[in-house]
Structure 1
Amino acid sequence: MRAGSPRLLREINDRAAIEALLRNGPLTRSELEGLIGLSKPATAQLLTRLETADTVVRDGLRGGGRGPRAQLWSVNGTIAHVAAVDLTPETVDVAIADISGTVISEHRAPMPARHGVLEAFAEAVDKACGQAGLRTDQLLHVVVGCPGAVNPATGELGYAPHLPGWNGFDVPGRLRERLAAPVSVENDVNLVALEEMVAGRAAGVRDFVVVWPADLVGAAVVVNGVLLRGASGGAGEIDGLVIPDRASADTGTDRAGGTFGELLGNPSICRLAKAHGLASRNGHGAVRKALAAGPAGRGFLADLARRIATGVASVVAVLDPELVLLSGDIAQAGGTTLNDLVAAELRQLVVPRTPVRLALVTGKPVRSGALHSALAVAREQVFGLPAATTAPFRGPVAAGSPR
């Protein structure tokens, strides 16, 4: 196709309009005109063209004031649907959304301890689809976030002894067979990093690390705006990193070294809290009690920060990122107090003065990241939009302009 042809320009401007509607929600013609920079007649023609193709729909009126109410337009969400799944050893949490990003059903179910995991997973997705009036084979894409890493060569899930029943086979391939839909499986912390790039504290940051300092310790590495997955998919799998225990309180650990995951598992954190006179059933409960105790809980938080910073130091020394984000229950429970203690300890261990911040996205960051990832794939397939969800908005192209 010749550059600058009317058909090419229409396609480019149609995509720009669709992207503006997806980013901003329902818009009037004049609002869309201002965003994409087309004339009033050209924008009106564009909307007519997209409505005829069933790509956009009329979505109510925007009123107010003395003037007439203006027609609102939005992307037709029913064009395609996706699923986002957060899989843990205990549960599977599913959300079904239309291509506009609107979540239309949710379903959470327990996972069996070892046997029947594929069946339980498929039943949960099927239930969520049923609530949305869909079949699983009508999903355009499914993204699953889980603790572990898929080997791109084999599809097998590695670094995941905590997910019994999921080892030794092509996980995405088997799920595709079960659901009769395209499936991608991604590391859970990687999805948190994607969500932070889209809607969190890493927006506009090119090189950063997300660390999940809790049970099933993990990290995600983003270099030049791209997730680093590694040759076997295991980039950021720091749970097995052997580090010394630098906590001042004696909890019976081997001071010469233990794995990062062992030192930051719930049992180890609870033992550390007990050594400081704090009793709790889980790690985030211990952190909350320490914060409530004021100065009496400071020693425990400082020891916990030493353990976290010791593992993070290895990542920072190698990558020298712009930013380290702490995410997950432990980080959120500790808030800025624990975050600042980790930052202070890190400065004692490495030369780079990398800022340490709390991740901004809370609630269900893994599922939210999976949803953005699934939508990126769907929107690329349906609308031809760039798959990079953090790509800046691109306006229309004038005739004769270089692209």
Structure 2
Amino acid sequence: MPASPSTARAINDRLALRLLQQEGPLTAGRLKQLTGLSRPTVADLVERLTDAGLVAVVGEAGEQRRGPNARLYGIVADRAHLAALDIRTEGVAVVVSDLVGAVLAEAAAPVRGDAGTGPAVEQAVSLVERAVKEAGADRLHTVGIGAPGLIDPASGELRVSTGLPAWHRRLVAALQERLPLTRVTVENETNLAALAEQREGAARDRDTFVLLWLGHGTGAAVVLDGALRRGASGGTGEIGFLPVPGTPGLPSAADCEGGFHSLAGAAGIAVLAAEHGLTAPGGPVREPAAAAFVADAVVRAGEPGAPSAAAAERFLDALADRLAIGVASVVAVLDPGCVVLGGEVGRAGGAVLAARVEARVRRMSPLPTTVRAGALGGEAVLRGALLTARDTAQDALFAPRDR
């Protein structure tokens, strides 16, 4: 069934706006080349977007730099302001941006849940409000939130979890109450990290891949044919509960200790480092601290002949053995062709750790699989939340209109 005229116009408008966002200001002629649309169609969509206040002339291009054909059109960045939150067990980070994604303000602070749910929520909401004020924004159009835990696929809400602070779920509702005109969305942190790595990081050339999150805890995000897969209950990627050899027991429905989390979570990695005689490096320590052990081991392993080089090599080999168990399990079921080691630990290990894991998976599985280090580290969650907020805002602002 062919699209209605209003839907066809909306599709063309969104295509043009995406290009303006990706490429920056463009002339109508360049939009015609990139979209493949006719000159009259491009002229119409430019007029619509200008009348709607979404696009404006921002300069001129070309040798002559004059006349209608030289006009550069760009997105009106302050048409909407967005915020992104990364909610962790121990704190919150927030960024505020304009519609094209330029960061206007950012802040982070620890949140003490032991002080009670109410004070913890108020502390987090106040952090957001201060960032919005610093950005000079009158109000927020959309807020994207990344949080640990499961998202109910039916309601889109963060589900109750015995392993997470109560203020996490309350914060989402509190933000909606405090900002009644703002769209508030929440997504699992690992899923957002995968989105960011696909758009701006290590998986830009992949529409099918798995992100293995390695931070304080473990998780996985599955992207198949360009679509994020959440599962029947929203639990796709809960790899921390995967039963694996090398642990003292089995995980339970309420606790992932004994699962893959025990091997690849930050606490398990720190114990592994101690077993190989590695000590915490001096200077500023990354969060989680396990990332500092891994980064330091990569440096030491690259110094042949140094007293600690052999211990660092053994530690990285042992860690790769552990990670390969989880990666090989994912590969056997999904055959993604590419696995990205994300989070702070994945980034700290870099290409050195990724190559070790890939070599082991190659021996364990007949399915060809590339293993890459994530490019964004712990920042991927916040970046993915901002990308999601931007997409949500654009869907609302660029919705079909009858004209």
Q: TM-score range by the shorter chain?
A: 0.7 to 0.9
Matching of residue 319 in structure 1 with residue 326 in structure 2: no
1:299 and 2:314 correspond:
yes
Instruction: Pick closer, same or farther for the CA change 1:317–1:25 going to 2, 3 Å.
Output: same
| Aligned match of 1:210 | 211
2:248 maps to which residue?
Answer: 254
Contact 2:84/2:385 (8 A) holds in 1: yes
Contact 2:87 2:145 in 1 (8 A): yes
Question: 1:68 is matched with which residue: 44, 65, 68?
Answer: 65
Q: Does 1:334 align with 2:349?
A: yes
- Normalised to the residue count of structure 1, the TM-score between the two structures is 0.82
Higher helix share: 2
What's the CA shift for 1:373? 1.0
Offset, 1:93: 1.3
C-alpha displacement of 1:171: 6.0
| SS of 2:109 mapped into structure 1 | strand
Aligned residues: 371
Do the aligned partners of 1:85 and 1:370 also contact (CA within 8 Å) in 2? yes
Distance 1:205 1:366, change over 3 A: same
What residue in structure 2 maps to residue 290 of structure 1? 297
Deviation of 1:276 (Å):
1.6
1: CA distance, partners of 2:330 / 2:2: 48
Cα 1:9–1:330 shift into 2, 3 Å: closer
Q: Secondary structure at the match of 2:137?
A: coil
- Using a 3 Å threshold, how does the CA distance of structure 1 residues 41 and 267 change in structure 2: closer, same or farther? closer
Mapped to 1, the partners of 2:47 and 2:324 lie a distance apart of 57
Matches within 5 A, 1:137-286: 138-152=139-153, 155-158=157-160, 161=163, 163-166=164-167, 172-180=172-180, 181-245=182-246, 254=248, 258-280=258-280, 282-286=289-293
Cα offset, 1:44, TM superposition: 4.7
Cα 1:351–1:171 shift into 2, 3 Å: farther
Determine if contact 1:157/1:171 at 8 Å carries over to the other structure: no
Change in CA separation of 1:327 and 1:97 when aligned onto 2, cut-off 3 Å:
same
The gaps in structure 1 that reach 5 residues or longer are 246-252, 386-403
CA distance in 2, matches of 1:47, 1:153: 37
Deviations 1:114-173 (CA, angstroms, capped at 9, x unpaired): 3222212211111111112235xx322211112222234573435562x32336x57644
The corresponding residue for 1:26 is: 25
Q: Distance in 1 between matches of 2:374 and 2:239?
A: 18
Relative to 1, partners in 2 of residues 1:366 and 1:354: Cα closer, same or farther, differing over 3 Å?
Answer: same
Q: Secondary structure at the match of 2:113?
A: coil
| 1:86 aligned residue | 86
Q: 1:3–1:188: structure 2 CA closer, same or farther, 3 Å change rule? A: closer
Residue 226 of structure 1 and its aligned partner are, at CA, apart by 1.6
Task: Report the Cα offset of residue 80 of structure 1.
Answer: 2.0
- Tell me the amino acid that sits aligned with residue 157 of structure 1: R
Q: How high is the sequence identity, in percent, across the aligned residues?
A: 40
Evaluate the alpha carbon distance shift between residue 62 and residue 110 of structure 1 in structure 2; reply closer, same or farther with a 3 A threshold. Answer: farther
Question: Could you say what the CA RMSD is over the residues aligned between the two structures, in angstroms?
Answer: 2.9
Shift of 1:367: 1.0
Does 1:118 pair with 2:121? yes
Q: Check conservation: 2:216, 2:267, Cα contact below 8 A.
A: no
Answer yes or no: is the 8 Å Cα contact 1:92–1:109 preserved in 2: yes
Which moved further from structure 2: 13-22 or 78-87?
A: 13-22
1:214–1:308 distance in 2 versus 1, CA, 3 Å: farther
CA distance in structure 2 between the aligned counterparts of 1:186 and 1:9, rounded to whole angstroms: 30
SS at match of 1:243: coil
Deviations 1:338-377 (A, max 9, x none): 1111112223433423221122334621111111111111
Q: Which residue of 2 aligns with 1:388?
A: none
Deviations along 1:186-239, whole A, 9 cap, x unmatched? 111100111122223333533321001232111111223221212322211122
2:284 paired residue number? none
8 A Cα contact 1:159 1:234, kept in partner: no
Question: What secondary structure does 2:144 align onto?
Answer: strand
Give TM-score scaled by structure 2 length. Answer: 0.82
Name the counterpart of 1:369.
384
> How much does 1:326 deviate?
0.6
Deviations 1:91-119 (A, max 9, x none): 21111222222222222222123322221
